[in-house]
A and B are shown apart, each in its own frame.
Chain A
Amino acid sequence: MLYYYRYRKASFVLSLQGIGQQIQQFGLMIAALFQIYLLGFIAILFMGIGKIVESDSPATQVQIAWGLLAAQSFILLVFRDAVLDSTHRRYHHTILTQTIHQKLADGVSLLIVHPLLLMSLIICYSMGLEKLTQAWQLILFVVTQFFVALCFIYRPLGTGSGLLLAAAIALYATNITWYLVALNLIILGCSTLLPRTLLRSISVTGLATFWLSFAYNHYFVLLWRIVLSALVLWFGVILETERPDLVANYVPGLVTLILLWWSSLAIDLKPEIYGRVSYWLSLDKLQSAKQSVWIIVLTAAIGFSVPVYILLGMTVVSLLPYVFLPLLVLSALKGPQHLAMTWLSTLVLSYTAFVLF
């Protein structure tokens, strides 16, 4: 059976290289920008996992646990196809007699692309066996991390829905152990009961319903952006509470961040129009289809960034990121690396104007 594992390894490495190439330019730009914060960010993640072991506030423990499980789902969203070797999944059955090897290879691949689980395991190891036996909530969290990750790669719709349900419970739960047990049961229930894919289809009669159907079938394209926008807003509210004197300085930055991922929506929408030019020409709807991409992206970007101004206040200069929004969308349509360059320039220009005026 070694030949199968050798094949899975080769395919996995190739998929990771593909993902690496896709995000190389964009990732490098973001990393260059935030490199000074990178170590701090990793430290915060370790501290977050540490809070699950020991914290004064049980509610914080619960919310951090949910946040980390949601974050791992976003990471796995990127790697899911690589972990499952989705493109060649049917081929596996032609070279396998037992599916246990397929599941085993899935599990190992999953562990490799699961940095948050690895971090938890590092903490477990550093604590030593004696202390670890006293921190049973950490063991339960590690088990939950792996279980939720497994459910997510096989049943993303059910797991995603389960996580949303668990988010509501996290607002009221005050005991980390019971919360993690409940979360596992919810994920198990949702993964089992909900279908693998959406069964019903939306009646498509025009561009509006076409995009509605696209969103219905590619809900994660929107979901991760909505969650990140909510997180930015949450961060802004915390900042306003802690340092109200600095909040005006942060508003353009927060808005520019939200504009970054909503303008990158154009990258996801582009193949449906620009990759199917002859189809839209055959319907004589190419121009309106191209315009619809702009309308959707601009509306979403403005719609999800306006709450920042509503909650944290607005000045004329802080509205400057909107001036660059069309440029961001245009560069997103050209490619991720163009978007990264433009976004970086936008951020610098916004803050230069903010300082000057």
Chain B
Amino acid sequence: MIEINNIDKYFSKNALFKNYSQKFTHDKTCLSAPNGIGKTTLLCMIAGVDIAFSGQILLQNKEVKKRQNCVALASDNIPYPSFLPAKELLNLTSTAWQCDFPAELIHDFQFDPFLNTRYEDLSSGNKKKLQLINALMRNTPYLLLDEPTAALDAAGCEYIVEVVSNYEGMVLMTSHEPEPFLQVGFHCVPLIPKPSN
């Protein structure tokens, strides 16, 4: 379970979240909201990669100091070092988190031919595949996916739906095309930050 309590988040002087609270209790949740509401920002805050906010985020009712230790995030919002080839980015993640090199995921995503391509030279679909592999390989208790099917080919979309439906941990994702995920048991939760009175 992920619990968010009284979060305040500002960009410059504009409040994106003000006193926002929410509980995600279902194991498979799909956040829905129009563009610009703060879905990606919320995922980044939960994943511990955006620390500039006030409030409380609890995982299984506990405040975890470094949430990135147990939360993996796949998002366009994470700027990977552009000069590194995909293989080296995965190597770095593998060493940093002491997990196996994701040979099976790479094969199933049909990503093998692009392993030696620099991140900056990958197509947007392949960038998305790399982000997904990079998050999935860690097998964390919490998996956050930001628009996982955006720019993916049909085979990639089918595969990610299959993978997340069988994922053992909690999956929280955002998607503007949630139907395939809803069909495999995802719960749709609208993201409506409530402005404080």
Interface residues of A (CB under 8 A from B): 201-206, 210, 213-214, 217-218, 272, 275-279, 281-285
B48–A281 CB distance below 8 A: yes
- Asked if B47 is at the interface of the complex by the 8 Å CB criterion, the answer is yes
CA distance A284 to B66 in the complex (A): 8
What are the 10 tightest A-B residue pairs by CB atom distance, in nearest-first order?
A278-B49, A204-B88, A281-B49, A283-B96, A205-B95, A217-B83, A276-B79, A282-B49, A201-B85, A278-B78
Contacting A at CB under 8 A, from B52-96, are: 66, 68-69, 72-73, 77-81, 83-85, 87-89, 91-93, 95-96
* Of A210, A272, A277, A282, the contact of B73 (CB 8 Å cutoff): A282
A201 CB contact (under 8 Å) in B72, B81, B116? B116
In the complex, which residues of chain A have a beta carbon less than 8 angstroms from the beta carbon of B92?
204-206, 210, 283
Q: Are B96 and A285 in contact (CB under 8 A)?
A: yes
State whether A275 and B79 are in contact (beta carbons under 8 Å apart), knowing that A201-B116, A205-B95 are contacts in the complex: yes
Chain B residues in 8 Å Cβ range of A275? 79
Residue of B nearest to A214 (CB): B83
Question: Which residues of B lie under 8 Å from residue A202 when comparing CB positions?
Answer: 88
A202–B89 Cα distance when bound, in Å, is: 11
Query: Which residues of A have CB within 8 Å of B91?
Result: 203-205
- Say yes or no: is B30 at the interface (Cβ < 8 Å to chain A): no
Shortest Cβ distance from B3 into chain A, in angstroms?
21
Across the interface, do A206 and B95 meet the contact criterion of CB distance under 8 Å?
A: yes
| CB-based contact A272/B81 at 8 Å | yes
Nearest-neighbor residue (CB-CB) of B77 within chain A? A278
Task: Give me the interface of B with A, judged by CB distance under 8 Å.
Answer: 44, 47-51, 66, 68-69, 72-73, 77-81, 83-85, 87-89, 91-93, 95-97, 116
Q: Which residue of B lies closest to A284 (CB)?
A: B68
* A218-B96 in contact (CB<8A): no
Given contacts A204-B88, A283-B92, A284-B68, contact A276 B97 (CB under 8 A): no
Contact between B88 and A213, CB atoms less than 8 A apart: yes
- A-chain residues with CB within 8 Å of residue B66 when the two chains form the complex: 284
In contact, A201 and B49 (Cβ under 8 angstroms):
no
Residues of the B chain whose Cβ atoms lie less than 8 Å from the Cβ of A282: 47-49, 68, 72-73, 78
Asked, given contacts A205-B91, A205-B92, whether A281 binds B84 with beta carbons under 8 Å apart, the answer is no
With A and B bound together, what is the CA distance between A217 and B119 in angstroms? 13
Q: Are A283 and B93 also in contact (CB < 8 A) when A201-B88, A203-B88, A278-B49 are? A: yes
Sample of 24 A–B contacts (CB below 8 Å): A201-B84, A201-B85, A204-B88, A204-B89, A204-B91, A206-B92, A210-B84, A210-B92, A214-B83, A272-B81, A276-B80, A277-B49, A278-B49, A278-B50, A279-B49, A279-B79, A279-B81, A281-B49, A281-B68, A282-B49, A283-B68, A283-B92, A283-B93, A284-B66
Name the CB-closest residue of B to A277. Answer: B49
A49 to B59 CA separation, bound complex (whole angstroms): 71
- Bound Cα distance A309, B95 (Å): 41
Chain A residues lying within 8 Å of B50, measured Cβ to Cβ, are: 278
B73 contacts across to A, CB distance below 8 A: 282
Contacts of B88 in A (CB 8 A): 201-204, 213
Residues of B within 8 A of A213 (CB): 83-84, 88
Contact of A284 among B69, B77, B79, B81 (CB under 8 A): B69
- Residue from B44, B77, B84 with most neighbouring chain A CB atoms (10 Å): B84
| A204/B78 in contact, CB under 8 A | no
Chain A residue contacts of B69, Cβ below 8 A: 284
Measured CA separation A213–B96 after assembly (Å) = 17
A210 touches B81 (CB 8 A): yes
Residues of chain B with a CB closer than 8 A to A210's CB? 81, 84, 92
- How far is A311 from B171 in the complex, measured between Cα atoms in Å? 63
Most buried by B among A217, A278, A284: A278
8 further A-B contacts with Cβ under 8 Å, apart from A204-B88, A282-B47, are: A203-B88, A204-B84, A205-B92, A206-B95, A206-B96, A278-B78, A279-B78, A281-B48
